[in-house]
Structure 1
Amino acid sequence: MISETALLESPALRSSVLERTDVLDRVKALSLLPDGMHVTTAMVATYFEVAVKTLESVVEDHREELQASGYQVLTGTRLTLFKRASGIQSRSRSLALYPRRAVLNVAMLLRDSEVARQVRVYLLDMEYLARTQPVENPAPTDPAALDARIDQRITHILGKTVLPMFNALIETSSDHQRELIALRTGVQRIEKRLRQHHARLQRLESPREDRPLIGVMASMDAMNGREFEEHVAALLRRDGCTNVILRGGSRDRGIDITALTADGRTLVVQCKRFAPHLSITSPEIQKFVGAAKVLHSSEVALFVATCPFTRDAQNIAAESGITAVHRGLLEEWSAGAQLTVLQ
């Protein structure tokens, strides 16, 4: 199992996982330049929520490695052609460009960025799944298996053959650069959709038990809503709750789980599986307060989410007797710690 420390310290390990650039979009959206392939230093710094100087320091310390993953600085004629082809307006005499591989490489070098840490968590979890997935030889008549194999083959061809061909044509052509860039962008969209489809198939078919701690939140982020509710229900049972009932659905009246605590108090739970860059807001807490206290007259109420809570939401929860189980607390709970309110 690759550890985060090993990833931070080993150039060889970092190089071995550079193809998994889809993990970047799992954490937050990565905005690209109009060419559909690159980002600037400022854009990378914004993505990782660090200062530009911090990023420049990383580049200075690891320039050769980043160049191997596609980092480059354009000047002179190359910069002029790139600006003309991509429509970028800039008076700078040089422009540093990062493809997605180089951005992922940066994520494995930045030690003090929470966004980079989360990218590493996803990356390690995907590597764990890939290494522990049972090797099977499904029958050719299995539609899901055929879809996955076809997706992988097409994605490989697009990424290793078609896109490099477009890049070479764009570099050498002066008359049709805009048309070629537009075609390349279309191919990249297809490649991205195929990667997303293959990732969804992997999530549906992969085992979810006995994950290492570093993959706890990544595995929850890969769950659908019902799986997440079942996970929370399992945590309640582990901590001594009884009569645990899943009520999620169109008629749940704002409550996903009901139960009794180990000492007999009535308990209700709302579960929200949101992306980690989103937040639970005060209106959602206010709605839950009505359901928990008015409709169900609960003694204990948990609002469990895979994301943070806004300050207003936390204040309203505290004032209303709601226990806000935010992303960090959920990770600790899933790893074995008990919630104070259940003790």
Structure 2
Amino acid sequence: MINEAALLESRSLRDGVVDRTHVIDKVKTLSLLPDGMHVTTAMVAAYFEVTETVIRAMVFDHREELESNGYRVLTGSELSYFKQLSGIQSRTASLALFPRRAVLNVAMLLRDSEVARQVRTYLLDVEYMARTQPVDNSVHRGPDSLDDRIDRRITHILGKTIVPMFNALIEASGEHRKELISLRDDVEKVERKLCNHHQRLRHLEHAQGPRPYTGIMASIDAMNWRDFEHHVAALLRRDGCTDVVVHGGRGDRGVDVTAVTADGRSIVVQCKSFAPYRPVWSGQLQKFLGASFVQHGADVALFVATTSFTPDARAIAETHGITPVDRAHLEKWSAGVPLPILR
């Protein structure tokens, strides 16, 4: 699997994933020029929440790579023609333009932007899913695996043909861009569902007896954020905690649940009900760190999520004594396995 450090250092790896421009919209809305295809240096800086100087310095260091992905600087008659077509009012003698591919390229190069890190993390998750899509290798596995092989064929077609086709159409389309993005997202949802279905079938094929936690995470995924907070509160009560209070919402001072362990330690909990493909970022751990120990003076800080944690987030948790409860641990906890920190 490609990791973030390798992506930052290897142009060949970046070239291999630069077509996945839809991840930009998954993290944050990218405002486009009236032509529906390009953004300026100022707009790129605003998206990544850095200064224009940072973007210009990055372009200086990686100009050839960015130009291969559509970055260009308009001057003279070409600039005048572009202004006329797009309706841009500018008196500058030149204008740098970034298409979506170049913006994603920037996200894979900027080291000190939290937004860029989020784009990279989402991009790597999408790439991991694409690389691990099982395909039919013509090995005979018996009649019971027919649906399995069909799912794999459909998933392969969606991931390798249909989604890239939508990406190309979106890149070239201005008038129907929103509709194409919506259709592309629907196709990706089907792709993820088929992938999950295949993984469940594979697990059932190799399971030694019935799976002990069947249905637990499906039930939790169906909860809204308020129900999820009350679910976590119920788990705390089940495991012997007292004075359990749900605070989620405005005025919660950065925590969702507070409680006291059976041996008298104070607990604060942050609950995040995220989609499984959307990890918890380091910035969210840093924010909770201040709320849990500084504002509340807690003895135990739990960050409970329905998804995974990025490596940076886990590093912060380990360094500062926060207990991350990811999807796998949440499933076991919900099934009756107490968290070690509460014992």
Q: CA deviation at 1:265?
A: 2.4
1:206 equivalenced with 2:195 (yes/no): yes
Answer yes or no: is the 8 Å Cα contact 2:259–2:268 preserved in 1.
yes
Q: CA deviation at 1:194?
A: 2.2
1:74 equivalenced with 2:74 (yes/no): yes
1:195 equivalenced with 2:184 (yes/no): yes
**Structure-2 residue corresponding to 1:43:** 43
Q: Distance in 1 between matches of 2:252 and 2:75?
A: 51
Scaled by the length of structure 1, the TM-score of the pair is 0.63
- Give the number of aligned pairs: 280
Q: CA deviation at 1:315?
A: 9.0
Q: Distance in 1 between matches of 2:288 and 2:299?
A: 16
Answer yes or no: is the 8 Å Cα contact 1:248–1:256 preserved in 2.
no
**Structure-2 residue corresponding to 1:256:** 231
Give unpaired runs (5+ residues) of structure 1. 168-183, 210-225, 232-246, 272-279
Answer yes or no: is the 8 Å Cα contact 2:83–2:89 preserved in 1.
yes
**Structure-2 residue corresponding to 1:5:** 5
Answer yes or no: is the 8 Å Cα contact 2:155–2:191 preserved in 1.
no
Q: Distance in 1 between matches of 2:95 and 2:317?
A: 41
- What does the per-residue CA deviation read over 1:11-58, in whole Å, with 9 as the maximum and x for residues that have no partner? 111111011111112221111111111111111111112221111111
Pair 52,260 (structure 1): closer, same or farther in 2 beyond 3 Å: closer
**Structure-1 residue corresponding to 2:53:** 53
Letter in 1 for 2:269: L
Answer yes or no: is the 8 Å Cα contact 2:155–2:195 preserved in 1.
no
Q: CA deviation at 1:108?
A: 1.0
Give unpaired runs (5+ residues) of structure 2. 138-145, 200-215, 273-279, 319-323, 330-337
**Structure-1 residue corresponding to 2:270:** 303
Q: CA deviation at 1:6?
A: 1.7
Letter in 2 for 1:49: E
- Per mean C-alpha deviation after superposition, the further-off stretch among 322-331 and 22-31 is 322-331
Q: Name the SS for the 2:74 alignment partner.
A: strand
Letter in 1 for 2:251: P
Q: CA deviation at 1:163?
A: 6.9
What's the RMSD between the two structures over aligned residues? 4.8
**Structure-2 residue corresponding to 1:276:** none
Q: Name the SS for the 1:256 alignment partner.
A: helix
Identity of aligned residues (%): 42
Pair 5,267 (structure 1): closer, same or farther in 2 beyond 3 Å: farther
Q: CA deviation at 1:190?
A: 2.8
Pair 292,204 (structure 1): closer, same or farther in 2 beyond 3 Å: farther
Q: CA deviation at 1:62?
A: 0.9
Answer yes or no: is the 8 Å Cα contact 2:256–2:269 preserved in 1.
no
Q: Name the SS for the 2:296 alignment partner.
A: helix
Q: CA deviation at 1:127?
A: 1.1
Q: Name the SS for the 1:74 alignment partner.
A: strand
Letter in 2 for 1:37: M
Q: Distance in 2 between matches of 1:251 and 1:65?
A: 46
Q: Name the SS for the 1:186 alignment partner.
A: coil
Pair 301,108 (structure 1): closer, same or farther in 2 beyond 3 Å: closer
Query: In the TM superposition, what are the counterparts of 1:1-343 in structure 2 within 5 Å?
Result: 1-136=1-136, 156-157=164-165, 160=168, 184-207=173-196, 227=217, 230=220, 248=223, 252=227, 255-257=230-232, 258-260=234-236, 264-266=240-242, 282-284=250-252, 300=267, 302-305=269-272, 306=280, 308=284, 318=296, 323=301, 325=303, 328=313, 333-334=324-325, 342=342
Pair 153,288 (structure 1): closer, same or farther in 2 beyond 3 Å: closer
Scaled by the length of structure 2, the TM-score of the pair is 0.63
Q: Distance in 2 between matches of 1:158 and 1:254?
A: 38
Q: CA deviation at 1:342?
A: 3.0
Pair 264,126 (structure 1): closer, same or farther in 2 beyond 3 Å: same
- Per mean C-alpha deviation after superposition, the further-off stretch among 307-316 and 87-96 is 307-316
- What does the per-residue CA deviation read over 1:154-173, in whole Å, with 9 as the maximum and x for residues that have no partner? 6555654x678xx6xxxxxx
Q: Distance in 2 between matches of 1:121 and 1:256?
A: 28
Pair 108,81 (structure 1): closer, same or farther in 2 beyond 3 Å: same
